């Protein structure tokens, strides 16, 4: 079996998991090492004080100052020294080199246990037994040979933090979780980061941006392979859509030629035979068919590679001239177009598509509104909202979602008379979607149709 490499996803999960486990175990072991109930080195100030005490005891036993003390036996001298120093908070003990206690006092049970873990005066230690801290051993030179001295003191402070953790399983579990959390977050980030990049790339494709992302081919081997496959898919989609666009262009060229000849023949027939209802109908339908082919090609071009022409624009420069033209056109039709002041909001996109998208909606409102068309521009949370209202007949509630479909017409007879092809709102919907925006239709408060467009602004 091949050992999982660190470049693979399961290899990284395996490595981070075991590294986290190692850190947690080491942390717990270190906590136990810091536990005062295990043998530990004596702090320097306390060590010097005990060493000084051992030196004083050695001098008192070797060179007694008082005659009464000189006449005592060795054991009596030890008891005298022990008894004199005995108190409720501090006590010294003496043992032979073999560990036998001389002049037993209180806490001798704890002392016997401590002697088994610390019997080398070259490296004295201390250990906590309940609230009794025992330290030692310290060598004491006497005329009868060397003995060891130990010291016991009461631990009056609060229980050490280490003891509070080790003696409480819940707190120990909490510490374990705190230690492991950064590594687990690191693991979660390492696993989800490539997935988020792949998700973002998929969302861009869903919005019509068919561009390969080299960053997808980095990271763990599994995601690197998935990213390479995704980029290959995007390349294949580009090739397919480009082929479709070329096919539509070729079809358009082939259709326009006979349409042009048909209209020329109709014009010649009208010149020779005079105008007739049938010839006028043929010429109207031929013109309408030519317009429909042109709009269909515009929709096709809009859906392919339009993101490559994106640039940063301000809304006033982008739409002001078009709005003024539309306002003039509405006045020629004895209608009123009103809009609030455009500001220099910054937006990124294809200027031709954005102009065409809003213009199609406004011209529809001018065409089907009775006499009033209102536009409102507003910004909230880096989103530009555009509402277009008219006071025309509107669209039935059940058909509001269908008007953005290509070739869909609410009233065929009306559109046929007005020359509509059913592609204007489809072109607008495609352009808005490519700019990561939304568009929806509903009944207007003016009585006609309301179109609401939202577009993200630059941050």
- Digit-coded pLDDT (tens) for 307-338: 556 788 889 989 999 999 999 999 998 899 99
Q: Long-range contacts made by residues 3-9, C-beta under 8 angstroms, separation at least 24?
A: 5/221, 7/220, 7/221, 8/220, 8/221, 8/222, 9/191, 9/220, 9/221, 9/222, 9/223
Q: Reading across the β-sheet that carries 383-390, which strands appear in turn?
A: 336-339, 372-380, 383-390, 449-456, 438-443
Q: What is the C-alpha to C-alpha distance for residues 345 and 377, in angstroms, rounded to an integer?
A: 10
pLDDT (0 to 100) of residue 416: 44
For position 304, what pLDDT does the model report?
54
Separation between Cα atoms, residue 344 and residue 374, nearest integer Å: 20
Predicted local distance difference test score (pLDDT) of residue 231 = 84
Taking the chain (459 residues) in runs of 10, the rounded mean pLDDT of each run is 54 74 72 61 83 84 74 74 61 82 74 82 82 84 84 69 58 70 75 79 74 77 80 82 72 74 81 78 80 70 57 88 91 90 87 87 89 91 91 86 77 47 77 86 89 89
Give strand ranges (E) for 325-395.
Answer: 336-339, 346-349, 372-380, 383-390
Task: Give the gyration radius of the chain's Cα atoms.
Answer: 46
Q: And the tokens for 349?
A: 């996109």
**Three-state DSSP class for residue 444:** coil
Residues 6+ apart with CB under 8 A from 249: 297
Q: What is the pLDDT of residue 166?
A: 56
Structural contact between residues 51 and 45, judged by C-beta atoms closer than 8 angstroms: no
Determine how β-strand 311-314 pairs with β-strand 125-129: unpaired
Structural contact between residues 75 and 88, judged by C-beta atoms closer than 8 angstroms: no
- Within 10 angstroms of residue 221's Cβ, the number of other Cβ atoms is 16
pLDDT of residue 385: 93
The residues pairing with 441 across neighbouring beta strands, listed in sequence order, are: 451
* pLDDT score recorded for residue 162: 56
Strands (E), 30-71: 40-41
Q: Give the model's pLDDT for residue 100.
A: 82
> With the CA atoms of 23, 27, 28 and 34 taken in that order, what torsion angle do they form, in degrees rounded to the nearest 10?
160
pLDDT at 169: 64
Q: Is the pTM of this model over 0.85?
A: no
In order of 115, 166, 311, 355, 440, the CA distances from 379 in angstroms are 80, 58, 20, 18, 17
Residue 73 Cα distances to 77, 91, 299, 413, angstroms: 6, 21, 117, 133
Q: Would you please indicate which residues are annotated as catalytic (active-site) residues?
A: 253
The alpha carbon of residue 136 and the mean position of all alpha carbons in its chain are separated, in whole angstroms, by 56
Is the separation of the CB atoms in 343 and 315 below 8 Å? yes
Q: Mention every residue, 6+ apart, whose C-beta is less than 8 A from residue 250.
A: none
Reference 204, options 219, 191, 188, 216; nearest CA is 216
- Kind of pairing, strands 336-339 and 372-380? parallel
């Amino acid at each position: 079996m091949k050992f999982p490499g660190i470049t693979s996803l399961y290899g990284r999960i395996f490595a981070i998991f075991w590294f986290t486990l190692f850190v947690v175990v080491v942390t717990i072991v270190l906590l136990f090492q810091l536990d005062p109930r295990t043998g530990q080195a004596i702090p320097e100030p306390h060590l010097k004080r005990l060493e000084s005490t051992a030196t004083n005891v050695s001098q008192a036993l070797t060179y007694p100052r008082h005659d009464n003390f000189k006449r005592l036996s060795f054991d009596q001298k030890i008891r005298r020294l022990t008894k004199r120093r005995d108190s409720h908070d501090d006590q010294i003990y003496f043992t032979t080199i073999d560990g036998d206690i001389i002049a037993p006092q209180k806490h001798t049970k704890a002392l016997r246990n401590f002697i088994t873990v610390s019997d080398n005066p070259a490296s004295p230690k201390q250990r906590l037994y309940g609230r009794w801290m025992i330290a030692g051993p310290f060598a004491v030179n006497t005329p009868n040979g060397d003995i060891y001295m130990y010291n016991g003191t009461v631990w009056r402070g609060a229980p050490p933090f280490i003891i509070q953790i080790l003696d409480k399983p819940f707190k120990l579990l909490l510490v374990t979780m705190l230690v492991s959390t950064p590594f687990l977050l690191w693991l979660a980030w390492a696993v989800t980061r490539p997935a988020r990049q792949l998700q973002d790339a998929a969302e861009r494709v869903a919005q019509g941006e068919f561009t390969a992302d080299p960053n997808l081919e980095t990271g763990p081997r599994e995601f690197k392979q998935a990213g390479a496959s995704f980029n290959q898919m995007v390349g294949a989609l580009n090739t397919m859509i480009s082929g479709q666009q070329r096919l539509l262009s070729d079809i358009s060229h082939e259709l326009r030629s006979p349409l042009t000849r048909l209209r020329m023949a109709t014009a010649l027939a009208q010149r020779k035979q005079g105008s007739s209802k049938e010839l006028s109908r043929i010429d109207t339908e031929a013109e309408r068919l030519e317009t429909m082919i042109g709009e269909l090609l515009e929709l096709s071009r809009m859906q392919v590679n339009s993101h490559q022409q994106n640039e940063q624009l301000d809304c006033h420069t982008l739409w002001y001239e078009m709005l003024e033209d539309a306002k003039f056109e509405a006045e020629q039709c004895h209608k009123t177009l009103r809009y609030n002041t455009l500001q220099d909001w910054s937006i990124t996109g294809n200027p031709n598509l954005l102009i065409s998208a809003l213009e199609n909606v406004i011209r529809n409102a001018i065409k089907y509104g009775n006499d009033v068309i209102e536009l409102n521009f507003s910004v909230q949370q880096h989103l530009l909202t555009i509402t277009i209202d008219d006071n025309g007949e509107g669209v039935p509630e059940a058909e509001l979602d269908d008007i953005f479909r290509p070739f869909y017409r609410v009233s065929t007879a009306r559109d046929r008379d007005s020359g509509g092809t059913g592609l204007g709102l489809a072109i607008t919907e495609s352009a808005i979607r490519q700019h990561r925006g939304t568009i929806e239709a509903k009944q207007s408060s003016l009585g006609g149709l309301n179109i609401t467009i939202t577009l993200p602004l630059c941050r």
